[in-house]
Every structure is written in C-alpha cells, then in structure tokens.
Structure 1
Amino acid sequence: MKLQVTQENLAKALGTVARVANTRNTLPILANVLVQTADNRLSISATNLDIAITHRIGSKIEKTGSITVPARLMQDFVSSLPEGILKLELTDNKLHITTDQYKSSINGIAADDFPVMPVISAGSTWKTGAAELKKALSQIVFAASGDDARPVLTGVYFHTIGGEVVAAATDSYRLAERKLGKNKASVSFLVPASAAGDLLRIISDADKEVVVTHDDQQVLFQVDDITLVARLIEGNYPDYRKLIPNKFGTVAKLARSDFLNITKVSALFAREAAGSITIKVDDGKVSINAIASQLGENTAAAEAEVKGSGEVTLNSRYLIDALNAFGGEKVEFCFNGKLEPCIIRSANDPKYLHLIMPLRS
C-alpha cells in the first residue's frame, strides 16, 4: 500500500471511527483500526463486534493494500501533525507515515485477522433528513436506560405509527419521543443507545440525508461517506403509548428558560431528598418547592399561562434533562394528578414530547 492523503481528512476519519475500537476486548485486534484502499479511496474502519463504523476519504493511491494499526496511537499521532499532505506506505506490516517534518512507522497486524465488516444484503431501506434525525437523537438518547437488566430499555426504538416513523427511548421512569415524518416503509427495530449516540456524533450540520437499511438482526445508517452498522437488540418494546394521556386537567405554558432556572435552583436544595421537588401550578404561576432537612428550604416561581391547578412531585434531574432537550422559547407542562404521568411538550413543535413519572410525595 502506498498513497497520499491530507492530514485533515485522515484525522477526521480516525476521529469518526476510533472511539468504537475496544481496548478492553479479549481480541487485541479490536483495539486497532483497519486502513485499506477500496474503489480508489482510503477506507478507515473500526468495530467492537456490536457496532462497526467505516469512513471513506479521498486519497491519491499509488499502490493498493491494507493493514490494521492501534486506534488510539494512530488517532493521537495524526491529529498532532500539522495540516498538509501525509505519505502512507506499508512494508512488512509496518505503516510508514511521512511528512516534510516527520518520519514515523507504526507496527500493525495483518488485515486478514480483522473481523469482516458487516453488510446487509437484503432488508428494508428508507431515507430521512439528516438534520431531523440528528435533532431526534439529541432529544431522546439520554432517556434510554443504562441498566442491562432489561435490555430492551437500553435502546432507541424506531417504529411506524400511522405512516410516520417515530423514535422513542425510556428507562421506565421517563420517556422521550420524536416523530421523524411520513414514510412508506414499515419500520420496527431497536438500536442500542450507544450506537445511536455514535450516529448522533457522526451526523454533521452539512449532511442532507441519511439512508437506513435494516433486517432482523442489523441496521445500517449511511451518512454521506460514513457507514455505521449496529447489531439490533432483541425483544418486544413496551407499549409506551398507552401511558400518554389524551387530555389534561392542569396545563401551564411558560418560558422554557424560566422553568429551567427555577428547577436548577430548587435542585440544589433537593440533594438530600434524592432530587425530589414538588411543582405547584395555580394563580398564573408555576412554583417549585424543595426541602433539605439539614440545610434549609427553597421555593422558586415563574409566571405562566395556567389552565386548572394542582401539584406533582418529580425527580429534578429528569426535569432538567427534559427541559435542556427542548428548543424554542415556551413549553407546556401538563398533568392530571399527583400520581399521573407528566407531559412536557413544546408550544411550537408538536413532533416532540417528554414524559416523566411522578414520585410519591
């Protein structure tokens, strides 16, 4: 293998894939990235056997070939180099990297020992806007569970409702859902939240479209020159839609920034009570009370347009996470009673909602 590539392109590709390389795996080669020429381009790949990412970049190829090299060393080294042309040459499983100022070699392992990068030969394919998918992932991935005791809750659920693709995540205490738009495809699959997080980092503001292909075992996301393939989570996702109320006895519409600020202040006093805060809606305002038996008590309020009245006790961290996920200036805070689910939704964006289960006060 002998080629030339820009430092900028190679550093970007390594940054895309290297985080998937697993130094703690029992297979040492999984700590490497695969560097190979394909179709007159340079391909950089990494996998942990559950997720595989490939980034293809332009290069001037004089001789084809392939090698695997340590991901962290390769990424740190290339990102430390100045911008300009890098010359890569492979001899005896050593990858030589040369610039005007540097001459280095990295010991590699033959590419034949690297796992075959997964492909999906047959399956369902559909497309979605890159900006819309990126926004959806940023608003829902954090709501997935980190507890492997219930594997289905550790993923992001893509499915079709009424001809519209919907993405959702829940840890059973909170739920985030966003609609991605109309689609003729019939969609139902569960992506690990870690893979969804990697996909979120991959999608750039310049990307226009994401092509999604999936079968019963894997899903492939194609984002411009980057391919991410993930193993799907098996199991039936809970029927979360039945938890979402159709109407509410109490609704408060207020500035998101005001709601977030009074929640953050109240959370300081809620640490002793495992983050528990009591939210009261009445008389044109939303007020939050938090009590710390050893430190004191705090009540904070914000003006709101109110319909009905009531109070509910929530986990302050969940509420802060939810409010941080919303865009726009105003949100609606809706509930029916102390023990009923609370819904937070945007006053201007009907595609997204967040549900938080109450605490027993």
Structure 2
Amino acid sequence: MRLSCLQENLSKGLAIVGRAAASRSTLPITSNVLVATDEGRLKLSATNLEIAVSCWIGAKIEEEGATTVPAKLLTEFIGSLPNDKIEMALSAKKILTMKCARFEARMTGVDARDFPPIPRVENGVAVKVDVAEFKKGVARVVFAAATDESRPVLTGIDALFEGSVLTLAAADGFRLAVYKMPLAEAASQKVKAIIPAKTLSEVSRLLSDGDESIGITVDTQKSQILFKLKNVELVSQLLQGAFPQYSQIIPQSHTTRAVVETPAFLMAARTAQIFARDGGGIVRLIMTPGGGKTPGRLSITARSEEIGEDQAELDAAVSGEEAKIAFNGKYLLDVLGVISEGQVALEVTGPSSPGVIRPVGTDNYVHVVMPMFVQW
C-alpha cells in the first residue's frame, strides 16, 4: 500500500471512526483501525462488534493495500502533525511508515484479514430522513432511555417506520418520551426495531451541517441497521426483545392544564434543583387557576432540611382545578432542556398520576413523567 492524503482530512476521518474502536476487549484487534484503499479513496473502519463505523476520505492512491494499526496511537500521532500532506507506505513486513513535513513514524500493523468483517446491510426497508429533523428527534428522546443494563430493551429506542412517519420512543420506567418525525423517503412497509440509545447518540454526533439527509436501512432478518451519510456509514446491531406498549402509559385526559413560557420554567426548575439535590431530588409544583384579571400561576418549590428552601412563581394560563404534583428535579430539567423555547403545557390529573409535558403548538412530541409521592 502506498498513498498520500491531507493531514486535516485524515485527522477528521480518524475522529469519526475512532470512537467505535473498542477500548477494552477480549479481541485485541478491535482496538485497531482498518486503513485500506477502496476505489481510489482511503477507507478507515473501526468496530467494537456492536457498532461499526466506516469513513472515506480523498487520497492519491499509488498502490492498493490494507492494514490495521492501534486506533488511539494513530489518532494521537496524526492529530499532532502539521497541516500538510501525509505519505503512507506499507512494507512487506506489515510496517506502516508515515511521513509529514519533517516528521516520520513507523507503526507495526496487524494483517487486515484478521480484522472483523464490517457488516453489509443491503436488504431490508430503506428510508431517508432530513438531518435537522433527525437530530431534533434523537435529542428529544435519547435522554429518557435507561442506562441500567438490568432491562436491556429499555437501553434502546423503539423505532417504528410506518408510511411517511418515523416514531421514536424511549422509557426507563420513570419517564417516557415519544417523538414523531416525517420521512423524506417513505418506508415501503411497516417495520419496528429497537435501536441502542448509544447508537443514535453516535449517529447524531456524526451529522454535520453539510449533510441534508440521512439514509437508514433496517434489516430485521440480520437484526442490523445501517445509517448512511455522504462519506460515512455506521452499522449497528439491534436490541432483541419486546418494547413496552407505551401508548397505554400516556394519559388520555387531564383535570388541570398549565401553559407557561419554557425558558422561565427551565430557569425556575434549575434553581429548584440546586436545593432538591439534597432533598431527595423532589421538586413540588402547584398550579393555581386565575380569576378575573388575576393571572393563573405555577409555583415551583424545593427544600432540604439541612440547607434551606427555594420558591419561584410563574404566570401561567391554568385551566381546570387547582392541582399539586411532585417530580424528580432532574427529570423535569431534562425535558425542559430539550424543548428550551416557546411555550410548554403541563397536564395533570392528580398528585399520584403521571404528568404530561408537551410543547405548545405542535403535536409530535409528548413526555410523560411519573410523580414522586410526598407529604404536602
């Protein structure tokens, strides 16, 4: 193998695939990155056997070939070089030599044939999604997935591809987030898959402003999913199991609804969380309807026996009767943080029933939070 490419391009490519390389593994070669020529370009690939990322960069290929070298070592070395042309050559003894300006390094490679094959997802249901919509949708659900591996299915995002709509849902037993987004290219048939939350976070990280749409292919036979960008491909294993029937969890009615400005609610929740951290994480909400010219209000309080207490009052359009409910402060912050702007509606039916949070003016996102039981 003999080729040359720009340091900037190689460094970017390694940053893209490097996170997929295994840091600790019973299979040492998975901590390597595959460096190979591929139809006039340089292909970089890494895998931890759960996800595999491949990236193609422009290069001048003089001689075809492939090898694998430690991902961390190569990434750190290339990142420390000046922004200049890099020449790479692989000897018959599997030594990879790299020259850039007045720098030169040699790395001992491992035969590319020993590298785990990167899965090819060619069959299955293929769709396309607008990049901005996809990033927004992932941001609004991924934080609600479980991090505890005791129920592996809840560490994933339930994805339903049906017609021209993709529905993403995440739940961890204490909260549920559901987001619906339009597909730029409709699904040929209905398909359901549970995608690891880590996979969707990684795909979202890889998306750049230059990408307009992302291609997704779901192969339920192989239990794999492919995300395809302009010069990057990510293949992930799907999670096995049955995701909870979450539609039954979403309350269909409410007795009280309060509409408030999201930034003000978020600010009040942040200050309450400072005190809630030492008070079991409890943030209490009281919704009081207005009367005559008096506006309704939403009261947010938190207290710790040792530190003190905090209270904030917000103007709110409250319909229905006065209501009280308590949430885990972190859960409240998480959902308000991803909505962040406009107005938000809080719907409750009582202190022991789930609360529902929705952005006002759109019906494609709903967030359900289980209440905390407190002494009022």
TM-score range, shorter chain: over 0.9
Question: What residue ranges of structure 2 are gaps of 5+ in the alignment?
Answer: 291-295
Aligned equivalent of 1:29: 29
1:39 shift after superposition: 1.1
TM-score (norm 1): 0.96
Cα distance in 2 for residues equivalent to 1:41 and 1:47? 20
The amino acid of 1:213's aligned partner reads: T
Task: Confirm or deny: 8 A CA contact 1:328 1:348 kept in the other structure.
Answer: no
Q: How does 1:67-146 map to 2 (within 5 A)?
A: 67-91=67-91, 92-146=93-147
Q: 1:161 to 1:312 in 2, by over 3 A?
A: farther
1:184 shift after superposition: 3.7
Q: 1:53 to 1:162 in 2, by over 3 A?
A: closer
The amino acid of 2:141's aligned partner reads: I
Aligned equivalent of 1:170: 171
Cα distance in 2 for residues equivalent to 1:32 and 1:154? 27
Cα distance in 2 for residues equivalent to 1:102 and 1:189? 48
Cα distance in 2 for residues equivalent to 1:225 and 1:277? 46
Match of 2:255 among 224, 245, 249: 249
Post-superposition CA distance 1:297-339 (Å, at most 9, x none): 2211111121122010100000001111114322111111112
Post-superposition CA distance 1:11-42 (Å, at most 9, x none): 11110111111121011111100000111111
1:273 shift after superposition: 2.6
Using the TM superposition, name which of 263-272 and 146-155 deviates more.
Answer: 263-272
SS of match in other structure, 1:287: strand
SS of match in other structure, 1:236: coil
Using the TM superposition, name which of 342-351 and 103-112 deviates more.
Answer: 342-351
Aligned equivalent of 1:214: 218
TM-score (norm 2): 0.93
Is residue 2:194 matched to residue 1:190? yes
1:163 shift after superposition: 5.4
Identity value in percent: 36
Is residue 2:320 matched to residue 1:316? no
SS of match in other structure, 1:168: strand
Aligned equivalent of 1:294: 306
Post-superposition CA distance 1:121-180 (Å, at most 9, x none): 321111111111111112211111011111110001111467521011110111112112
Aligned-CA RMSD value? 1.4
Cα distance in 1 for residues equivalent to 2:113 and 2:123? 25
Cα distance in 2 for residues equivalent to 1:321 and 1:288? 16
Post-superposition CA distance 1:233-277 (Å, at most 9, x none): 001110101111233221111111110111111111112332111
Q: How does 1:30-45 map to 2 (within 5 A)?
A: 30-45=30-45
Aligned equivalent of 1:306: 318
Aligned length in residues: 361
Task: Confirm or deny: 8 A CA contact 1:131 1:207 kept in the other structure.
Answer: no
Is residue 2:18 matched to residue 1:14? no
Cα distance in 2 for residues equivalent to 1:341 and 1:36? 53
Task: Confirm or deny: 8 A CA contact 2:163 2:187 kept in the other structure.
Answer: no
Question: What residue ranges of structure 1 are gaps of 5+ in the alignment?
Answer: none
Task: Confirm or deny: 8 A CA contact 2:82 2:101 kept in the other structure.
Answer: no
